Amino acid sequence: MIKRVTCTLLMLANAATATTYYVDPAGSNANDGLSPATAWRTLLKVGISSFQPGDVIRFKRDGVWNEWLTPPSSGTAGNVIKFDAYGNGRPPEFTGLYATKIGDWTNTSANIWQATLSATQPISQLKFVQFGTIWGSSQASQDSLAHNRDWYYDATSQILYVYSSAGNPVSSFGSVSPVILSGQALVNLNGASYIEIQHIKMDWYDAYGVQVQGGSDHIWLANMMADSQVPNGAVPIGFYVHPSGSAGDIHICNTDAHRNYIGYRFDGTASAIELKNCRGYANRTYGLMDNTGAVTYSYCHFYANNIATGVSTDITGTAGPIYGGNNLAADTPPKVPGFLRYPARISLTYDDPGLINGSHQYIQSLLPTFRAKGVPLSIAVVTGYDLSQQLVPTFQSWVDAGWDVNCHSASHQYFVFPNAFTLQYTGTAASSVTLSIANKHLTITAPGDPNAQVSWDLSSSGTDLVPTGLDTLGGVVFTLNQRD
């Protein structure tokens, strides 16, 4: 079991002259911020203010901000500047997800709908818009919108245009939520020192949850969660620590980094970083990447990372971190009092429609079964062939129906398949051995050696719904049909 531990200096008292400020989404930046009743409203107000060593800035629990926090001032030894929560409820949430409402949308023309986005700071770009549980397709102009979930963002007017053939897009898709803080760190420490941050939840970012950069040092980050869920290539990163110089007093304690590309990443020339009692689950590549050789991790738990391949790889790095002891062993599942259940966005991929005739008809016949069972399916289509060009309307119909259609590239055009395996006859009775496949039968003949004779029927079952040893997808469908 991981013990509750604390970073040493988190318990230091502030100076007697310290001032406490309050921030509440229902507050006003015209207030003095000195009490919950006169709280400031935005993280931007915090970022453009000046603070003294020992000051405390508190964010209201249950509050949600579509902003990022940049601490503007540094504390001193023994008098850190603290950022923390106040009140009751869930931790303050810094999020990139902007949930539009039905009333935000107006019909522009035919199937084109528009909504004006409004945030504390200008929304300079959008890279991701989520329609229900499906990411939409970005287009270069409003005129290019032609299919459901196509979207175009005009950064000058801050208007989001989407294509929705069934009316108001929020009603049609269940929700429409752009990720509006594109390229940002939700907590950005740049050249700030003697800073302590606690009890903050960060989610739906496409770059960084927390970023420590510049000349930052003497940093304590504790009781925080960075949970992205945005599929943005080699980011997002939950905690990205890469200060300049040789920072030697950075502490990350009792934090969580889940569903990122990398949970915790450390680069640069720092001399000492502490990672204690932290967790990283289900990150796309690694839970912890240390390229400094200065990270000591202890009482930590990394589990089920590298979900891109399904082979758990939790910790990596050029130098690699220092094992500080009391970490849970790899592949040890977390022990929790109860689970929240999340439906898998995609659980199975079917490859190669467009490569040879018959593939698209086969999967088309199975789509009603997957739909009825509520099982997500990804369809990887092949491009670059005459048949695939003919099937563009079919592929588009799958997109319109909400299936996850992705490109299996044109790799079949230039890739030479290596031998998957080599068969070698090791007996002595047969003078020759022949393997042949004809009429859906695999035959191995070995005159004089009956033990080497093989005859396999490779044909699938009559309905493709009864499992055989060589019919994987049929076996999956068979299993689905056994459900109540």
Bridging pattern class, strands 434-438 and 250-253: unpaired
Q: Where are the alpha helices (DSSP H) in 340-391?
A: 359-373, 386-390
Q: Pick the residue with more confidence: 453 or 149?
A: 149
What does the pLDDT read at residue 463? 47
Q: At 32, is the pLDDT very low, low, confident or very high (cuts 50, 70, 90)?
A: very high
Q: What is the DSSP string of 8-30?
A: GGGGPPPPTT--EEEE-TTS-TT
370, 347 in Cβ contact below 8 A? no
Q: What is the mean pLDDT of the chain?
A: 88
> In which residue are the tokens 């909400």 written?
402
Mean pLDDT of 325-341: 85
Which stretches of 408-447 are assigned E, i.e. beta strand?
434-438, 441-445
pLDDT, tens digit, for every residue of 393-450?
999 999 888 888 887 754 445 444 556 667 788 888 888 889 888 887 778 898 988 8
pLDDT, tens digit, for every residue of 46-87?
999 999 999 999 999 999 999 999 999 999 999 999 999 999
Question: In angstroms, rounded to a whole number, what is the distance separating the alpha carbons of residues 277 and 266?
Answer: 17
pLDDT at 342 over 80: no
pLDDT, tens digit, for every residue of 221-253?
999 999 999 999 899 999 999 999 899 999 999
Question: In angstroms, rounded to a whole number, what is the distance separating the alpha carbons of residues 280 and 238?
Answer: 9
Share of the chain above pLDDT 90, in %: 66
What does the pLDDT read at residue 408? 74
What does the pLDDT read at residue 427? 86
Q: At 301, is the pLDDT very low, low, confident or very high (cuts 50, 70, 90)?
A: very high
pLDDT at 24 over 60: yes
pLDDT, tens digit, for every residue of 362-378?
999 999 998 887 777 88
Bridging pattern class, strands 349-351 and 378-381: parallel
Q: Pick the residue with more confidence: 353 or 91?
A: 91
Q: At 453, is the pLDDT very low, low, confident or very high (cuts 50, 70, 90)?
A: confident
- Angle in degrees, 0-180, between the axes of helices 472-481 and 359-373, rounded to the nearest 10: 20
pLDDT at 288 over 90: yes
Lowest mean pLDDT among 205-219, 267-281, 424-438: 424-438
Q: Per the structure block, which two tokens stand in for 405?
A: 């259609």
What does the pLDDT read at residue 374? 74
What does the pLDDT read at residue 3? 46
What does the pLDDT read at residue 480? 53
| Greatest C-alpha distance within the chain | 97
Mean pLDDT of 16-43: 96
Question: In angstroms, rounded to a whole number, what is the distance separating the alpha carbons of residues 80 and 194?
Answer: 5
pLDDT, tens digit, for every residue of 94-103?
999 999 999 9
What does the pLDDT read at residue 462? 45
43, 69 in Cβ contact below 8 A? yes
What does the pLDDT read at residue 470? 46
Instruction: List where CATH 2.160.20.10 sits in the chain.
Output: 9-95+184-323
What does the pLDDT read at residue 460? 57
CATH level 2 (architecture), domain 9-95+184-323? 3 Solenoid (2.160)
What does the pLDDT read at residue 79? 97
Q: Establish whether the linkage from the previous residue to 236 is cis, with ω within 30° of 0.
A: yes
Share of the chain above pLDDT 70, in %: 86
Q: At 343, is the pLDDT very low, low, confident or very high (cuts 50, 70, 90)?
A: low
pLDDT, tens digit, for every residue of 133-160?
889 999 999 999 999 999 999 999 999 9
Phi, psi of 252 (to 5 degrees): -125, 115
Question: In angstroms, rounded to a whole number, what is the distance separating the alpha carbons of residues 137 and 402?
Answer: 12
What does the pLDDT read at residue 97? 97
